């Protein structure tokens, strides 16, 4: 039988030489397993379920921007958190997405083992797909604990990634409008 996540955490903790029987650690394998399950719960979700038809008709084709969406994910190389903000813009063509759904799409992909570049692209292409937008731009800025706590131990570096699709890629003035809205 495959060991449970809690059993795996127990052996991981034991490998440090720690005593799993001391009071502070007795419930830790089970708690850590529950936390890990939550932090990777995005694998069990689908776009359909997350969007849940929260698409509303709109005859505006002005840019929609949602910025400073908090983001927590785990890097797939070290399984340490990266933490930051996502900014999303799109130009609707008849349909707009419920505001909270933008955040839920981000969470679904962020609660998986990730690299920031891929996360940025997945969010952009999902928003393009579900809304049929003329263009989508996503920028993510994040601090990676794998860089801050280990390795080069750089505390202040922020990684920025962007994905520009459709008119956000083809049209400089659209892209500039998006970037200007983020800086206001
Ligand atoms: Zn890492």
- Interstrand relation of 55-57 and 135-144 (parallel, antiparallel or unpaired): unpaired
Q: What is the pLDDT of residue 151?
A: 82
Task: List the catalytic residue out of 7, 45, 78, 177.
Answer: 78
The residue among 63, 138, 155 whose CA lies nearest residue 102 is 138
Tell me how far the alpha carbon of residue 182 lies from the centroid of ligand 1, in angstroms.
27
Q: What is the pLDDT of residue 24?
A: 97
Annotated catalytic residue 87: no
Annotated catalytic residue 75: yes
Q: What is the pLDDT of residue 53?
A: 86
The residue among 133, 62, 139 whose CA lies nearest residue 106 is 139
Annotated catalytic residue 77: yes
Tell me how far the alpha carbon of residue 18 lies from the centroid of ligand 1, in angstroms.
25
Q: What is the pLDDT of residue 152?
A: 80
Our CA angle for 108, 11, 9, nearest 5°, is 20
Taking each helix axis from N to C terminus, what angle separates 28-39 and 5-14, rounded to the nearest 10 degrees? 120
Annotated catalytic residue 78: yes
Annotated catalytic residue 146: yes
Domains delineated in the chain: 5-39 (no CATH), 52-182 (3.30.1130.10)
Tell me how far the alpha carbon of residue 147 lies from the centroid of ligand 1, in angstroms.
7
Task: List the catalytic residue out of 87, 114, 122, 144.
Answer: 144
Q: What is the pLDDT of residue 101?
A: 96
Q: What is the pLDDT of residue 184?
A: 76
**What is the Rg, in whole angstroms, of the alpha carbon atoms belonging to the chain?**
20
Q: What is the pLDDT of residue 50?
A: 95
Q: Which helix (H) or strand (E) holds 70?
A: strand 64-75
Digit-by-digit pLDDT tens for the chain (184 residues) are 899 999 999 999 999 999 999 999 999 999 999 999 999 999 999 999 999 889 999 999 999 999 999 999 999 999 999 999 999 999 999 999 998 999 999 999 999 999 999 999 999 999 999 999 999 999 999 999 999 998 887 788 899 999 999 999 999 999 999 999 998 7
């Amino acid at each position: 039988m495959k060991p449970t996540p809690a059993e795996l955490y127990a052996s991981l903790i034991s490998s440090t030489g720690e005593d799993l029987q001391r009071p502070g650690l007795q419930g830790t394998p089970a708690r850590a397993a529950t936390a890990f399950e939550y932090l990777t719960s995005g694998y069990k979700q689908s776009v359909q379920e997350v969007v849940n038809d929260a698409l509303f008709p709109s005859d505006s084709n002005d840019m929609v921007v949602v910025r400073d969406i908090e983001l927590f994910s785990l890097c797939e190389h070290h399984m340490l958190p990266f933490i930051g903000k996502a900014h999303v813009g799109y130009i609707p063509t008849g349909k707009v997405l419920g505001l909270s759904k933008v955040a839920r799409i981000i969470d679904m992909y962020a609660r998986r083992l990730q690299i920031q570049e891929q996360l940025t692209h997945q969010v952009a292409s999902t928003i393009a797909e579900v809304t049929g937008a003329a263009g989508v731009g996503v920028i993510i800025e994040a601090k990676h604990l794998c860089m801050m706590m280990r390795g080069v131990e750089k505390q202040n570096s922020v990684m920025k990634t962007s994905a520009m699709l459709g008119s956000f890629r083809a049209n400089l003035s659209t892209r500039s409008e998006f970037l200007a809205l983020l800086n206001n």
